[in-house]
With several copies, the nearest count.
Chain A
Amino acid sequence: MPRMNIIQAVNDALRIEMERDESIVVMGEDVGKFGGVFRATQGLQEKFGEKRVFDTPLAEAGIIGAAIGMAQSGLRPVPEIQFADFIFPAFDHIINEAAKMRYRSGGQFACPITIRTPYGGGIRGGHYHSQSPEAYFCHTPGLKLVIPSDPYEAKGLLASSIRDDDPVLFLEPKRVYRAARAEVPEEEYTLELGKADVANEGSDVTVIAYGAVLHDVLKAVEAAEDEDGMSCEVVNLRTLLPYDAETVLESVKKTGRVVIVHEAPRTCGYGAELAAMIAEKAILYLEAPILRVTGFDTPFPYTLEEEYLPNERRIRKGLRDTVSF
């Protein structure tokens, strides 16, 4: 099996899916000749031509708005938003139009669009090249939201997202775009949406995470196991909407302790949903407060981003506080 990074895995999935299905088109700012500012669409225009891979004017509302119309015409658009921080001009089209299209038309129209966009901090991007907007979208019925953490997941989940008949927001962990490398099957495969992965088995505490921060979690857990003798179960969510409550609950019922980790600000962040669900469905199993180790409730800073992010140190503190409670 070839070793790939996430960029290559995304590129590979796009290529394979486009070969498989003529109705898939790739569009966005700088995705054509340039191949994307992160090079995720490199070579696709050359291979599939300018009709299926093309640059758009600089307008996110236009990109998603047009993608919705293209879907109505029978296509399966895979628009790229250059950074997740810039998705908000298209917010209305995503949550009021794409997400509601099937429901409001009584099932007549679907919206099979997969919006790819790099998200997250840790690349010295400050306010506008660092945000993790997953919670904004997970409050929206009709949408699906997927976040891979490594190349294997990226390829399999992107394929599933593109084949899915509902609109999917596919957030790519840009901090580990190149750093996360793994063996990835050459041929096509899919990973089921809505299924979490138990990335590490353990019995003292359940850590729930997704995307780039999963790597910090795994490092923290390894250290905690080695140095503190803890046994940590790590649930990697993969799909945030709809999410795999079953796997989460199974783990929580085993460990009785929960730490949720994400980069986005804490208040009304995605972790709140997980904590609330657990506090409803597994309250009798809980032996400690449910902790959220997250970005702070501030805009994303530049110089102090290391301090802002839920780094290994903060995760370990969360683990200690929870297990020793």
Chain B
Amino acid sequence: MLRWRGGRYNPAFMSEEIYRILKTNGRLEKGRKTPSIDDDRLRDMYRYMLINRLVDERMTKLQRQGRIGFYIGSVGEEAAVIGSALAMRDDDWIVPCYRELGAALVRGFSLYKFCCQLFGNAEDPIKGRQMPNHYSARDLKFTSISSPVGTQIPHAAGLGMGLNIQDKKNAVLVFFGDGATSQGDFHVGANFAGVFKAPVVFLCRNNQWAISVPGERQTASESFAIKAEAYGFEGIRVDGNDVLAVYETVRKAAEKAYAGDGPTLVEAVTYRQGAHSTSDDPRAYRDEEEVERWKERDPLNRMKSYLKHRDLWSDEEDDKLRDETVKEIAQAVKKAEKVGPPDIEEIFNDVYAQRPWHLQEQYEQLRGLAE
């Protein structure tokens, strides 16, 4: 364990132990060995992070141009999300909140579908029912995103309990922010998981802010990881901008879960480099300097440097991936933008498995009016 040097206000955060493999410059921390991860996987880590970053940049612009209504990105937090998603098996469940596009990408969620969801069009997998960034992908074992902060945490516990009951050997990775740990739902979810030894990895993306509220206003505890003590399982703090450290930590937690040894809380210490969402303006509440300091610890640069040191990546490959991705995104956007809205009948579908009389009546009234 190394000493954490990247804390913010909370003095406790400064002295807290944290797990890290890569230094900011992409070199191994003293005493760390090259982790035994094959080269393709290492490159994948970086690739997904870069794609995620480029998507976020493009969509934020799209929102500014008024072409989509809203966007919520994860700039600066890609390692925490992608490192942990990659550490799970493909048939493990991912239970996201709204800031984990990276995890969906890892699972193979298509950019086109993603764009359709942003536009809420007729080909949106969730049929234009929710705001941007609230997709679902059941085929990818990626559950339905909702806005209320923290509700997914007991769902994840229940999913894990359900896997146990059915003797399935998978695990669950659930994401949430530092702010979410203040909700009763964090408590009941973690507590159920502890009592029932549910195979769950609780991934707290501690990005230091909940909109304008800093971490020390969420809790007086020494860290978020320490909260695991209250539930009888292990809590680990990891440098959330070091994709290797995140990957290794979550991999171990997942293996513990597969082995029937129950849940783990992983606090990935990272930073929300951008606004909370396109509706937010952080200049009203935080120092630009702080943001600059954290940009120096950017997860993409760190991993790219590491790969370059190891001759696993080059500037040419980087440029190529960028170009390809930008094009792919542009195509997806273009195609999705052309698709029309869902039919008004979609207002009335999926409320229940079968449409009851009163919804049929309301549908017919609306249809009558529309004609």
- Give me the interface of A with B, judged by CB distance under 8 Å: 25, 29-30, 32-35, 37, 51-52, 55-59, 61-62, 65-75, 77, 85-86, 88-89, 92-93, 96-97, 100-110, 124-129, 141-142, 144, 164-166, 194, 242, 245-246, 266-267, 296-299, 301-304, 307-308, 313-314, 317
Contact B146 A104 (CB under 8 A): yes
- Which of B32-40, B187-195, B255-263 faces chain A? B187-195
Contact B158 A125 (CB under 8 A): no
Contact B129 A126 (CB under 8 A): yes
Contact B191 A29 (CB under 8 A): no
What is the CA–CA distance of A81 and B168 in the complex, to the nearest angstrom?
Answer: 28
What is the CA–CA distance of A303 and B126 in the complex, to the nearest angstrom?
Answer: 11
Contact B188 A73 (CB under 8 A): no
Contact B347 A108 (CB under 8 A): no
- Which residue of chain A is the closest to B137 with respect to CB atoms? A108
What is the CA–CA distance of A298 and B127 in the complex, to the nearest angstrom?
Answer: 14
B30 interface residue (CB < 8 Å to A): no
State whether A69 and B357 are in contact (beta carbons under 8 Å apart), knowing that A59-B183, A296-B347, A301-B347 are contacts in the complex. Answer: no
What is the CA–CA distance of A106 and B121 in the complex, to the nearest angstrom?
Answer: 12
- Which of B211-219, B312-320, B330-338 faces chain A? B211-219
Q: Which of these, A72, A109, A303, contacts B162 with CB under 8 Å?
A: A72
CB distance from B321 to the nearest CB of A (A): 31
Give the secondary structure class of A's interface: loop
What is the CA–CA distance of A35 and B281 in the complex, to the nearest angstrom?
Answer: 12
Contact A89 B184 (CB under 8 A): yes
Contact A104 B126 (CB under 8 A): yes
What is the CA–CA distance of A75 and B160 in the complex, to the nearest angstrom?
Answer: 12
Q: Which residues of A contact B62 (CB under 8 A)?
A: none
Contact A165 B353 (CB under 8 A): yes
- Which residue of chain A is the closest to B284 with respect to CB atoms? A34
Contact B211 A30 (CB under 8 A): yes
State whether A96 and B344 are in contact (beta carbons under 8 Å apart), knowing that A61-B154, A61-B185, A301-B129 are contacts in the complex. Answer: no
Q: Which residues of A contact B163 (CB under 8 A)?
A: 73
Contact B128 A303 (CB under 8 A): yes
Contact A106 B351 (CB under 8 A): no
- Which residue of chain B is the closest to A35 with respect to CB atoms? B284
State whether A106 and B125 are in contact (beta carbons under 8 Å apart), knowing that A65-B185, A72-B159, A73-B159 are contacts in the complex. Answer: yes
The 6 sampled A-B contact pairs (Cβ below 8 Å) are: A69-B155, A105-B144, A125-B131, A127-B146, A128-B147, A141-B351
Contact A59 B159 (CB under 8 A): no
Contact B184 A313 (CB under 8 A): no
- Which residue of chain B is the closest to A241 with respect to CB atoms? B356
CB distance from A99 to the nearest CB of B (A): 9
State whether A297 and B358 are in contact (beta carbons under 8 Å apart), knowing that A106-B127, A108-B138 are contacts in the complex. Answer: yes
Contact B129 A299 (CB under 8 A): yes
State whether A142 and B351 are in contact (beta carbons under 8 Å apart), knowing that A66-B192, A69-B158, A69-B160 are contacts in the complex. Answer: yes
Q: Which of these, A58, A77, A103, contacts B182 with CB under 8 Å?
A: A58
Contact A68 B148 (CB under 8 A): no
Contact B129 A103 (CB under 8 A): yes
CB distance from A192 to the nearest CB of B (A): 12
B69 interface residue (CB < 8 Å to A): yes
What is the CA–CA distance of A108 and B137 in the complex, to the nearest angstrom?
Answer: 8
CB distance from B138 to the nearest CB of A (A): 4
Q: Which residues of A contact B153 (CB under 8 A)?
A: 65
- Which residue of chain A is the closest to B155 with respect to CB atoms? A69
Contact A317 B369 (CB under 8 A): yes
What is the CA–CA distance of A65 and B279 in the complex, to the nearest angstrom?
Answer: 29
CB distance from B57 to the nearest CB of A (A): 22
Q: Which of these, B95, B151, B158, B164, contacts A92 with CB under 8 Å?
A: B151
Contact A307 B366 (CB under 8 A): yes
Q: Which of these, A85, A109, A129, A166, contacts B138 with CB under 8 Å?
A: A109
Contact B125 A65 (CB under 8 A): no
